[in-house]
Structure 1
Amino acid sequence: MKKHINVVAAVINNDQNEILCALRSSVMALPNLWEFPGGKIEEGESHEIALVREIQEELGVHIKVGDKVEDTYYEYDTFTIQLTSYLARITAGDLKATEHAELKWVTINHLDELNWAPADIPAVEELKKLFEVKKVL
């Protein structure tokens, strides 16, 4: 039986309507693929608490967690993942990549140019839909 992992991810946006994208390092599982930063939910943690903790550990910033973007189940070769992504804003701190090879602010229109980890793709698609709705309003 494959290992199952419950993960949360932060879709962090800034005042220029750019999204923070993180490139997985060559030593991580799924190397050199882009993702929304986040990590595993520890036992007893809520999604929000896990996300705040993971972003503090990985990026050195505090965030405010907003609405859910997407909830995705994905089966990789050696494990399965339940990835729940949330909108978020940085409230304090300076971004630093402690685990990722690169951090990049990307506009919604350019998200498709990145080579995403498969489990993150549904969130990318949902963001494009959300952005289209906002442009129309």
Structure 2
Amino acid sequence: MIKVVCAIIENEGTVLITQRSSRMAQPLLWEFPGGKVEVGESEVEALIREIQEELNLLIVPRERLTPVLHYYSSRAIELIPYTCSLQNGNILLAEHQAYSWASLDVLANYSWCPADIPIVEEYLHLKRSQL
């Protein structure tokens, strides 16, 4: 089981999502950005590092949502989402093909990586219950 963290980066009523490149597994699907937790690293440390490396952004993780266990054909992952606020930085894509600041009303319309779908659903439910 590979432990992976992902960031739901909120900014002015939108959420940052990234599109995987054609060279990556799950090519061209959308996901919340993040990456693997390294040995000796906390989830929060991994999330801050991964977002800095992949997107050149500084974030502040806030709330841990429900982890998702997902079984791909070649491996199993535990995807651990955190809502985050954007501290600063200008997006520079290191691995992804594209990004979008998506509003809540269109978030479900993207072609998501399978492991991210339950996170999108939980996040939208959480946000709608706060209205």
Normalising by structure 1, report the TM-score.
0.93
RMSD: 0.8
Question: Secondary structure in 2 aligned to 1:13?
Answer: strand
Which of residues 102, 108, 112 in structure 1 aligns to 2:104?
108
1:34 matches 2:30:
yes
Q: Which amino acid aligns with 1:11?
A: I
**Aligned counterpart, 2:2:** 5
CA–CA separation in structure 1 for the residues paired with 2:66 and 2:112: 15
Residues 30-83 of structure 1 deviation map (CA, whole Å, 9 limit, x = unaligned): 111100000000001100000000000000011100101221000011100000
Residues 58-117 of structure 1 deviation map (CA, whole Å, 9 limit, x = unaligned): 000111001012210000111000000000111121112111000101111111110000
Which of residues 88, 93, 97 in structure 1 aligns to 2:89?
93
Percent identity among equivalent residues? 41
Mark the runs of 5 or more structure 2 residues left unpaired by the alignment.
none
CA–CA separation in structure 1 for the residues paired with 2:66 and 2:104: 16
Structure 1 moving runs of 4+ over 6 Å: none
Residue 134 of structure 1: how far off its partner (Å): 1.3
Which of residues 53, 65, 71 in structure 2 aligns to 1:75?
71
Mark the runs of 5 or more structure 1 residues left unpaired by the alignment.
none
